[in-house]
A and B are shown apart, each in its own frame.
Chain A
Amino acid sequence: MKYIQLSHGGGGEETNDLISDLFYKYFNNEILLKAEDAAVLEVENKIAFTTDSFTVSPIFFKGGNIGKLAIAGTVNDLAMMGAKPLYLSSSFIIEEGFSFSELETIVISMRDELAKSGAKIVCGDTKVVPKGSLDQIFINTTGIGELKSTEISAHNIKEGDSILISRDLGRHGATILAAREGIELVSDLGSDCETLWPAVEALVEAKLNVKAFRDATRGGLAAVLNEWAQSSEVCIEINENLLPICDEVKGICEILGFDAYDFANEGTFIIAVAAEDEEKALEVLKRFDFSSNAVCIGTVSSERPKKVILHSPWGSRRYLELPKGELLPRIC
């Protein structure tokens, strides 16, 4: 068994071995292999730029691992601005004694996830810290994407628009929670972790009147809708019985007292689209496996600006508030 040692982060021979045996091997591309102090990039249009750090625990979970998440997370942030993901950096902070083969598994997942959007890792860094300084491994990725649409913004949503969701809610949060709490399920509930760019690209290319995209990560659907209602000064009205939630997620919510619309997702996005393009947008989404169950969950009104209203199937209604307090740390 090979283990990561402090010397792997020391900048000497062992560091070089780690870089060539692992990172160059799997992230292999011309810009990276030049091994300069900084990558030199060419981009034609306006760019989108984002960064995210990944600290999820456990690092391996059903439906993914920290590496897959580190790519999908940053690539999705770019995609949500209508930007084609192009270049990523990746920084690893690794605890001394971490298994080399697990690191390789993580790096292979990252390579596979990159292939879905065509983005490349063009620079990176590796630090190894003494045992006990951190829990196994943290990864930071930063990304640049080329804007394919300048119309996408959380400020653009208007009365009458439709609100769509790409798939069922809460899988990532429920999966991590179940793993963390040792809840054994008689099912194969897994994280929804996925690169969303292919569907976003198709929606942009279809020239639909899309107002905004946002992936429902930490804070879940409740956070996205409240942020949109605030930014665009509109009221978003959601029908509770239209919210797609699988039985396993419902069950975990029941047992532990959570609500699926507060749970984190890592491959689920919300789309605000002009009502006349709702059907066309759903058709586009249904072409992709990860969004084949996309549905409309509500509409935008002027009823109570800056608020989100949840309608129950029996005719009562209430505000859907932002999740508060300590829901769950280290979800991503």
Chain B
Amino acid sequence: MSLQLKDLYDSFREPNTIKALSQQIKKESLKLKEPLYIMEVCGGHTHTIMKYGLKQLLPKNIEFIHGPGCPVCIMPKERIDHAISLANLDDVILLTLGDMIRVPGSKTSLAQERAKGCDIRPLYSPLDAIKIATENPDKKVIFFAIGFETTTPMTASVLKIVEKKKITNLYFHINHVLVPPAVEAIMQSGEAKINAFIGPSHVSVISGAKIYSPLADEYNTPVAVSGFEPVDVMESILMIVKQKNEEQTKVEIQYSRAVTLDGNIKAQEMIAKYMTPRTHFRWRGIGDIESSALVLREEYAQYDAEKVFAEFLSDEPIDDHKLCICGTILKGLAKPSDCKVFGTACTPNTPLGSCMVSSEGACNAYYRFEEI
């Protein structure tokens, strides 16, 4: 019998398992000395929690704080404007991943520019960039690459093919960001009341679970590296509650199906071959964070859209709409429902802030999966 896709998720959505975990969490949580404020770092987890209604299965002394782990949501407007400026250049095809198309920049969005006639294409796989560049030799194809540690190896593998096949019309605008510096920045500010973390499994498949060790040690917070199915998230919460009750603060791997302490060394090497940390990157709502994103290495400057098209791009910071509280939400200091424009002036069709755009954004998840 062959392995089917459903074999990979069916048992992780098994109703009796979810109910049993809910009971166990409720029982264990009676022993908690203080309320638990768990930051789920990744927007994918926010989506799981809201879509599957997991909050309803938890006791009142466990709350979620939605973290900055949505690559679209943390993209500052000046960089979205980069994408828009690049798309408007002559003979350019701009490629990017799904939700980037709708996120508003300072004046317009890629969706609006596409409607006006710019050639902007969403990719399901970054490898499609190779095909598009090869099929359009007279065009300059620019891949606006976004994502955390999870998608970075894919961009690196596209670069590897570009180098090998000597493709000269594919450029990269790198917006790959890193989880640990962002979480560290939120904790350092001292404002957030977070006392536990759920870390995204896919990031640790690449970077390993060890990336959270400094966090657990420095701030005495339990960390569970979790998968994205409801059973995964519930099991991770149980792990965290047990750690708290046993006064432990360690990094635990719930997603043992694919996460190791060290991660995928080969992928890490490939990333390191092509990219290196930027001195700093401005995160939407959080601000400048040192070494929190990647840039192409100097020796690959001929592929770097930020260098090749530098004369058309401005790095002047552009702040959010003054009513938007995405920044405060990303820091875990407010819930989407605390925002004055949530669901009124700001909806998935007319997003004022980035958290409403992507299905991984906290506001979008609250809007789509409104609780009863």
Contact = CB atoms under 8 A, between A and B. Distances in A.
Interface residues of B, number: 30
B5 A315 contact: no
Contacts of A317: 53, 56, 372
Contacts of A257: 359
B122 to A, nearest CB: 9
A222 to B, nearest CB: 11
Nearest to A256: B124
B370 interface: yes
Nearest to B349: A324
Contact of B6 (A251, A309, A318): A251
Interface in B3-22: 4-6, 9, 15, 18-19, 22
A134 B229 CA distance: 43
Contact of B19 (A241, A314, A324): A314
A316 interface: yes
Interface in A303-317: 304, 309, 312-317
Nearest to A241: B15
Contacts of B5: 247, 250-251, 254-255
A247 B53 contact: no
B6 A315 contact: no
A299 to B, nearest CB: 16
B371 A314 contact: no
A255 B8 CA distance: 12
B369 interface: yes
Identify the 10 closest CB pairs spanning chains A and B, nearest first.
A316-B53, A313-B15, A314-B18, A251-B5, A316-B56, A314-B15, A324-B348, A319-B370, A318-B369, A318-B53
Given A251-B6, A257-B359, A326-B102, A321 B370 contact: yes
Contact of A325 (B6, B102, B230): B102
A156 B371 CA distance: 28
B52 interface: yes
Given A257-B359, A321-B370, A316 B15 contact: no
Interface of B: 4-6, 9, 15, 18-19, 22, 50-54, 56-57, 101-102, 111, 124, 230, 347-349, 359, 367-372
A16 B230 CA distance: 63
A314 B229 CA distance: 13
A30 interface: no
Contacts of B348: 324-325
Given A315-B56, A316-B56, A319-B370, 7 more contacts: A250-B5, A312-B15, A314-B15, A314-B18, A321-B367, A324-B368, A325-B102
B111 A315 contact: no
A136 to B, nearest CB: 20
A321 to B, nearest CB: 6
Most buried by B among A251, A309, A312, A321: A312
Contacts of A255: 5
A188 interface: no
Interface of A: 181, 241, 247, 250-251, 254-257, 304, 309, 312-319, 321, 324-326
A250 B6 contact: yes
Contacts of B50: 318
A314 B23 CA distance: 12
Given A181-B124, A325-B102, A318 B349 contact: no
Contacts of A254: 5, 9
Contact of B372 (A251, A309, A314): A309
5 contacts: A314-B15, A314-B18, A315-B19, A317-B53, A318-B51
Contacts of B101: 326
A257 B370 CA distance: 19
Nearest to A324: B348
A312 B52 contact: yes
Nearest to A255: B5
A251 B367 CA distance: 25
Contacts of A318: 50-51, 53, 369-372
Contacts of B102: 325-326
A204 B350 CA distance: 43
Given A181-B124, A251-B5, A312-B52, A325 B349 contact: yes
B372 A315 contact: no
B99 to A, nearest CB: 9
A307 to B, nearest CB: 8
Contacts of A304: 372
A319 B369 contact: yes
Contacts of A309: 372
Nearest to A304: B372
Contacts of B56: 315-317
B6 A314 contact: no
Contact of B57 (A247, A250, A316, A326): A316
A316 B54 contact: yes
Contacts of B53: 312, 316-318
Nearest to B17: A314
A241 B13 CA distance: 11
Nearest to A311: B53
Contacts of A321: 367-370
A317 to B, nearest CB: 6
A27 to B, nearest CB: 37
A241 B368 CA distance: 20
Given A314-B15, A324-B348, A247 B4 contact: yes
A249 B345 CA distance: 35
B64 to A, nearest CB: 14
A328 B283 CA distance: 30
A248 to B, nearest CB: 9
